[in-house]
Structures are given as structure tokens and as C-alpha cells.
Chain A
């Protein structure tokens, strides 16, 4: 670490910098649920059909993308000592490009409109470029710890994902056809879900798992080597895939799966060793997410061994529902329930100290409301995962998932309302 690294202890960015992302994210979850209800069992005909692509991107770019970008704006100053400069303008720009970008991309798929896809490419391409450049500048001066190093790999993976995503979208935008579209899609998907989302969750958990539950720290070799290791394995896997080295592709894939399984296992183990005995929704969301991750990895390995499973059209949906809905959405949902009320408290105390009593985190976001939403989410995931097997299940699954996302949104809005009401006490 250079002596200058992390010298800037600037406080959190203005509250709206992360909140515009957090408050919008669940809306995309609701839109995803509506898409499921609209399409019904026909959705499972093929993962290559446009509605399936719309659904996937509403969840990954919309819900997860917004939540994770918002969290990075917030976390960079705290965990890496490196705030994004001009955070407010940058976040407004990124937000203003990505939100219409996701909406036009999803409508472009659903309405089969090349014009909308082209528009989406411009919006998403410039939004991600702006974000990646701003974060790259910030991470260059970041303190050197496993989390900030992991974030660098995650952002590199995001760059790869976005690039391949634009190439693929151009297919729909201009009606040309890439010969190896299936390979390019696998690469786009692997870098997005395992590289960007996976490595970011892994890196952030080094800080937040010990922090929120007082668990022991992750073993040093694991925290140091997992993000770069996953990155290198993804590079190898990509090279094997593009080089048509069919014997080696599953080897690299298997190694990636085992690395994530190791991470999930260690996380669950650390949580059993937590010194904070009180259980809370965040802990439950994380455990659920880790269990879903272990399950999806097992099913993926099973698919490698049993070709019939791999060839079943419902299989990618099963994996996707469990990885995105079961693993990542759970973890992000749990994190939102810690970060949001804390930030509201944090911003209120700087304004209200000495003037009025500052509401505590559980007054800002009541436990009961969080638990109610959590139970719906926990019920929705198994139904979503089973729906590819029993297609009519898609209706109750989508309904419960949609209500869960709606409750998440109202919970977050309730918390933000507490902030606004209390702020009025000052003025």
C-alpha cells in the first residue's frame, strides 16, 4: 500500500447517489414477474426466445445491475478509501442511461424491434462505459485489500460482459448473424454471472460477512486468491471455448464450480462460528443464497455427467432461476436491508444530532416488514426453480415473486419516507 492510498477518508456520497439505484432496482423485479405472468409456460420453450432474454436482462441488468452499481458508489469510499469523484453527476449520468437502456432492451426483445435494440445498445453501452471509467479511476487509487483487488477483477469482468453483450445485441439490432453465437452467448453469460456478479459478491463478502455477524475473517489464502483465480479460470475457459477444445472446457468449468462451492461452504461455516448470536434477515438471506448456490453448482455438475439433463430445454431455466433468483437476489436483498436503513440513519444523524431524536435502524425499516417479504422470497424461489419441470407452476411462482419484489419496493420506500419526514424537522 502506498502511503497515499486511502488517505482520502471522505464521507459517504450524498444519499441520492446510491438511493436512486436502490429504490429503482425492485421495480425491475416486478417487471420481470409481470413478464413471467404474461408469457406463461410458453417461456420455457427455449432459452433463445426473445421473451426469455427480456426476462433475464430485467433481472440481471435491472434488479441486480442497479443494486450492485448503487452499492459500489457507496462502498468504494468505505472499503477501498477511494470515492468516485463527482459521484453525484456520475451516478446521475449512469442511472439516466442505464434505466432507459434496460427498459428499451427488454421492450426490444418483447416487441421484436430492431430499432429499440439499437437504441438500447447506445444507452447501455454509454452508461456502462461511464461507470467503468469512473470506477477504474477510483480503483486506481484504492487501498490495496482483498476487496478492492476483487472489485478490480469484477469490473474487468463487467467490461468483458458488456462488450460481448453489445456484439450479441447487434445481431438483433441489424439482423446479421454471428456463426458462433452460441459460444459468444455462453461467454457473455459466464462473464456476467460468474465474473462480474460472482466475483463482486465474493469480494464484498470478505467485508460484510464478518462485519454484520461478527464471524471470523475468511481464510487469507482464500480471500487473496479466489478473485484472481476465478478470473484466470474464466480466461482459460473462454480460450478453450473459442478454441473448440471440447475436452478442456468442462475441466475449466468444473474448476470454477468447485471454487464457488468452496466459497459457499466457507461462508456457511463462518456463519456458524459467528460471535453475534442474534439472527437477522440479512443472515437468513445469505444462508439461503449460499444454499441455492451449492444446489445450482451440484445441478450444473450433474448436467456435465448426464447428457440427457444437459439437453433438456428446461435445464438452463432451472439453473438460471436458482443462480439469479436463489443465490444473487437473496444476497442482494439481504444486503439492501442492512445498507439502506444504515445510510438513512447515517445521513439523519449528521443533520439531526442535538435537534431531534434520530430513529434507529429498526424504526427506519421494521423487522416485521422485512421478514414478511423474506418469507415470500423464500417461497418464490423453489416454485420458480420447479416451474421448468411443471410449467403451470409459473403462475403462482411469478405471482409470489412479484409480490415479494413489490413488498421490497414498498419497504425501501417506507424507509426513505422516514428519512424525508425526519429531515423536515430541520427545515
Chain B
């Protein structure tokens, strides 16, 4: 349904003059930023009642979130858990919050189908707060911890993050 750019292609475009992003923090934080933009666009379109375009942009947002979660759940979290031996710590909570967000994605998708503006905007508002406080915890705490714990391995981890489809 959605016409959106390949996620990795977008990363290429965002990167300043082909310089390789050096930390996990920078790499994943900039991906948050990109997801936020797609969210804001979908919300704005729904606010204006432009449902065709809302469906398209919301689809792009969902895809970018799916990809972001995959990078974390398939690469970052397992690597982090392996290095620190903490499998019930912060990563567990982050996974749980991903689940909570997925619940809201479904509710929003249903609202798009029904073209229910109040419901969509109400769910979007809820998602925004949940997503932002989640991102805050990741950007200010977890990603920094990952950069510290993984140290020299960080480049390799970023390469594996980039390989996630």
C-alpha cells in the first residue's frame, strides 16, 4: 500500500557527506528522529481529514518502526544482553514497551480504516508520549551504555544494524 523509500536508502541520504556514523547512539537516535517525522506527518494529515495520504504516510511510519524495532530486538538487545549478562534488565523493559507501542499501532491502523478522526488522534497522542519517553530512555541511557559496553565492537554492531532488512 505504501510508497516509501527503502529505509536504508533514507539513512544514506541523512548521513552528512558520506561520513560513517560512529556510535550506536548517533545511529539509532537519528533513526528515532526519522520515525518521529513520519509520525508527525501522518498525524497532521489525519488532522486535516486527508485519509488517502494518511494511509500512505502512516504505512511508511509503521514500516520504519518495524525496521527500528527489528534492529534493536534482533541485533542490539541480544548483543547487549550477551556482553552484560543482563537479560532481565533494561532491554527487557524496552521490549515490553515495544509491545505496548505495537498495541497502539494496531488501534491506529483500525482508526485509519474506519476513518475515525477522533480515535486516530487520541491514539496518536497516546503513542507520541509513550514513544517519546521510550526514546528518551534509550537515547539518554541505554544507547550510551551500549556504546560503553561494546566499545570497539560498536562499528561491527552498526554494520550488523545496517544489514537488518
Chain A residues near B148 (CB, 8 Å)? 3
Query: Using Cβ atoms and an 8 Å threshold, which residues of chain B touch A280?
Result: 125
The verdict on A211 contacting B43 (CB below 8 Å), with A78-B137, A360-B119, A360-B126 known, is: no
Contacts of B43 in A (CB 8 A): 276-278
| A353 CB contact (under 8 Å) in B103, B129, B130, B144 | B103
Does residue B70 face the partner (Cβ distance < 8 Å to A)?
A: no
Set of chain A residues within 8 Å of B87, measured between Cβ atoms? none
B40 partner, pick from A3, A277, A345, beta carbons under 8 A: A277
Q: Are A361 and B126 in contact (CB under 8 A)?
A: yes
A:307-355 near B, CB below 8 Å: 338, 342, 345-346, 349, 353
In the complex the two chains form, is A1's CB within 8 Å of B128's CB?
Answer: no
Q: List the B side residues contacting A360 at CB < 8 Å.
A: 107, 119, 122-123, 125-126
**Nearest-Cβ distance from residue B26 to partner chain A, whole angstroms:** 14
Q: Which residues of chain A are near B136, meaning CB under 8 Å?
A: 78-79, 207, 211
Most buried by B among A143, A338, A361: A361
Query: For B100, B129, B136, which residue has the most chain A Cβ atoms within 10 angstroms?
Result: B129
Known: A143-B140, A342-B129, A361-B125. A275 touches B90 (CB 8 A): no
Once the chains are docked, how many angstroms separate the CA of A276 from the CA of B39? 8
Q: Which residue of B lies closest to A363 (CB)?
A: B122
Contacts of A5 in B (CB 8 A): 141
Q: Is A174 an interface residue (CB 8 A)?
A: no
**Residues 208-249 of A at the B interface (beta carbon under 8 Å):** 211-212, 214
Category for how many chain B residues contact A: 20 to 34
Q: Which residues of A contact B128 (CB under 8 A)?
A: 212, 276
Q: Does B36 contact A (CB under 8 A)?
A: yes
Give bound CA distance, A310 to B40, whole Å: 47
Q: Do the beta carbons of B145 and A3 come within 8 Å of each other?
A: yes
| Interface hits, A8-42 → B, CB 8 Å | 9, 11
Q: Which of A253-275 contact B (CB under 8 A)?
A: 275
Task: Give Cα A7–Cα B140 distance, bound, in whole angstroms.
Answer: 11
Q: Which residues of A contact B90 (CB under 8 A)?
A: 7, 9
Q: Is the interface of B mostly helix, strand, loop or mixed?
A: helix
The reply to whether the CB of B44 lies closer than 8 angstroms to some CB of chain A is: yes
A420 proximity list for chain B (CB < 8 A): none
Interface string of A273-304 (1 = CB under 8 A from B): 00111101000000000000000000000000
Q: Range of interface residues on chain A?
A: 20 to 34
| Contact among A143, A342, A345, A346 with B141 in the assembled complex (CB-CB below 8 Å) | A143
| A-side contacts of B89, CB under 8 Å | 7, 9
- Tell me how far the C-beta of B74 lies from the nearest C-beta in chain A, rounded to whole angstroms: 20
Q: Confirm or deny: A372 has a beta carbon within 8 angstroms of a beta carbon on chain B.
A: no
CB B79 to nearest CB in A, in angstroms, measures 16
A150 on the B face (CB < 8 A):
no
Verify if B37 is at the interface (C-beta below 8 Å from A): yes
**How many whole Å from B126's CB to the nearest CB in chain A?**
5
Provide the residues of chain B in CB contact with A214, threshold 8 Å.
36-37, 39-40
B132 on the A face (CB < 8 A): yes
B103 touches A349 (CB 8 A): yes
Which of A7, A276, A277, A342 sits near B126, CB closer than 8 Å? A342
A207 to B135, CA, bound (A): 11
Residues of A within 8 A of B144 (CB): 1
The residue that A362 contacts in the complex, of B37, B40, B121, B149, with Cβ under 8 A, is: B121
Q: Judge whether B118 and A9 touch: CB under 8 Å.
A: no
Q: Which residue from B44, B123, B132 sits with its C-beta under 8 Å from A277?
A: B44
Does the CB pair A278–B93 fall under 8 Å?
A: no
CA distance A143 to B119 in the complex (A): 36
CB pair A9 B40 closer than 8 Å = no
Chain A residue numbers with a CB within 8 Å of B130 are 342, 346
B47 within 8 A of A: yes
B109-165 contacts to A, CB under 8 A, are 118-119, 121-123, 125-126, 128-130, 132-133, 136-137, 140-141, 144-145, 148-149
Assembly CA distance A276 to B43 (angstroms): 8
Q: Give the chain B neighbours of A277 by CB distance below 8 A.
A: 40, 43-44, 47
Report the bound CA distance from A268 to B107 in whole Å.
33
Interface contact B36-A81, CB-CB below 8 Å: no
Known contacts A9-B90, A278-B47, A342-B129; A362 and B122 CB within 8 A of each other: yes
Whether A345 pairs with B126 at a CB distance below 8 angstroms is yes
Within 8 Å CB of A349, what residues of B? 100, 103
Q: Is A275 in contact with B40, judged by CB distance below 8 angstroms?
A: yes
C-alpha gap A211/B121 in the complex (Å): 17
* Chain B residues within an 8 Å CB radius of A362: 118, 121-122, 125
Indicate whether A145 reaches chain B with its CB closer than 8 angstroms: yes
CA–CA, A79 to B136, complex, Å? 7
| Contacts A/B (CB < 8 Å), 18 sampled | A6-B145, A7-B145, A11-B93, A79-B140, A81-B137, A143-B141, A275-B36, A276-B39, A276-B43, A277-B40, A278-B40, A278-B121, A338-B129, A346-B130, A349-B103, A360-B125, A361-B125, A361-B126
Residues of A near any B CB (own CB < 8 A): 1, 3, 5-7, 9, 11, 78-79, 81, 143, 145, 207, 211-212, 214, 275-278, 280, 338, 342, 345-346, 349, 353, 358, 360-363
